[in-house]
Amino acid sequence: MQQANPNYQQLATAIKSASTLLDLDPKSVLYEDAIAICNHLTNPNFRIAVFGPFNHGKSTLINAMLGNKTLPIDLIPTTGAAITVKYGTDLRTRIVLVDGTEIYRSGTNILKQFAVLDGDRRMRGDVASVEVFCPHPLLETGVEFLDLPGTNDREAQDNLVRQQLLGADLVVQLLDARKLMTLEERENLRDWLLERGIKTVIFVANFLNLLSPEEQKQVQNRLRFVAESFRAELPPGFSNLYRVDALPALRARLKGDVAAANVSGLVEFEAALQNVVRILQKDTPGVRKPRVEKIVAKIQRSLKAKITPLETEIAQFFDKNQVKYDIKQRAAELIKQGFHQSIDELKKCLDIQNLRDKYQADAAVALAQNEFKSWEIDNLKQDLKQLQLDVTKWLYQAYEIFQTTRPEDLSIAFPNTPQVTLPNKPGVDDGISDPGSLAVGGGIGWLLGGPVGAAVVGSITYMVNKNLQKTEAKTSNESYHQQVAKICVDAVDDYLNQVNRQGLLIIDKYQQQLAIIIHFNHSETPAEIKQKQIELQKWQNSLSALNQQLQKSLEIAVPDEFKVEPKTSKSSQTKPPETQSRSVYRFSGKGVKEEVAIPRKAPQQQQHQKTTQTTKKNVSSFSPPPAPDLEAKFTAWEIDEEIAQMKANMGKSGFNTSKQQQTNKHQQTTNKSKTQVDKDKIARAYKILGLQPGTSLAEIKKTYKKLVRKWHPDLYVDQPQMQQQAQKNMRLVNEAYSILSAQG
Kindly report, residue by residue over 322-356, the tens digit of the pLDDT: 888 888 888 889 889 989 999 999 999 999 999 99
Using CA atoms, how far residue 397 sits from 131, 232, 462, in Å, is 82, 76, 46
Using CA atoms, how far residue 536 sits from 23, 297, 533, 561, 714, in Å, is 15, 19, 5, 16, 55
Helix (H) or strand (E) holding 536: helix 527-554
> Which residues have a Cβ under 8 Å from the Cβ of 632 and sit 6 or more positions away?
none
- Provide the CATH number for the domain formed by 658-743 in this structure: 1.10.287.110
Fold of 18-282: Rossmann fold (3.40.50)
282-336, pLDDT tens digit by residue? 998 889 999 999 999 999 999 999 999 999 999 999 888 888 888 888 888 988 9
Rounded-to-integer distance, Cα 127 and Cα 21, Å: 28
What is the model's pLDDT at position 718?
Answer: 73
Rounded-to-integer distance, Cα 717 and Cα 214, Å: 12
Lowest-confidence segment of 116-130, 226-240, 637-651 by average pLDDT? 637-651
Mean pLDDT in residue range 246-262: 92
What is the model's pLDDT at position 438?
Answer: 40
Lowest-confidence segment of 127-136, 140-149, 621-630 by average pLDDT? 621-630
Using CA atoms, how far residue 609 sits from 613, 614, 615, in Å, is 6, 9, 10
What are phi and psi for residue 467, nearest 5 degrees? 60, 40
10 Å Cβ neighbour count for 666? 10
Lowest-confidence segment of 108-112, 677-681, 692-696 by average pLDDT? 677-681
Lowest-confidence segment of 279-288, 561-570, 676-685 by average pLDDT? 561-570
Query: Across all residues in the chain, what is the average pLDDT?
Result: 79
Mean pLDDT in residue range 727-739: 85
pLDDT band, residue 183 (cuts 50/70/90): confident
What is the model's pLDDT at position 566?
Answer: 61
- The answer to whether residues 269 and 242 touch, using CB atoms and an 8 Å cutoff, is yes
Lowest-confidence segment of 44-48, 513-517, 574-578 by average pLDDT? 574-578
pLDDT band, residue 492 (cuts 50/70/90): very high
Mean pLDDT in residue range 725-735: 85
Which amino acid is located at 298 in the chain? K
What is the model's pLDDT at position 270?
Answer: 93
Lowest-confidence segment of 34-48, 64-78, 380-394, 609-623 by average pLDDT? 609-623
Which of 185, 212, 215, 205 lies closest to 266, judged by CA?
A: 205
Record the pTM.
0.60
What is the model's pLDDT at position 369?
Answer: 83
Phi-psi region of 696 (alpha: psi -120 to 50; beta: other; left: phi over 0): beta
- The answer to whether residues 167 and 47 touch, using CB atoms and an 8 Å cutoff, is yes
Rounded-to-integer distance, Cα 447 and Cα 90, Å: 142
Mean pLDDT in residue range 240-258: 92
What is the model's pLDDT at position 456?
Answer: 63
Q: Describe the strand order of the beta sheet including 143-147 as a list of residue ranges.
A: 102-106, 92-97, 127-134, 83-87, 143-147, 46-51, 170-176, 201-206, 241-243
Residue spans per domain, the chain: 18-282, 316-543+579-655, 658-743
What is the model's pLDDT at position 646?
Answer: 42
Rounded-to-integer distance, Cα 390 and Cα 393, Å: 6
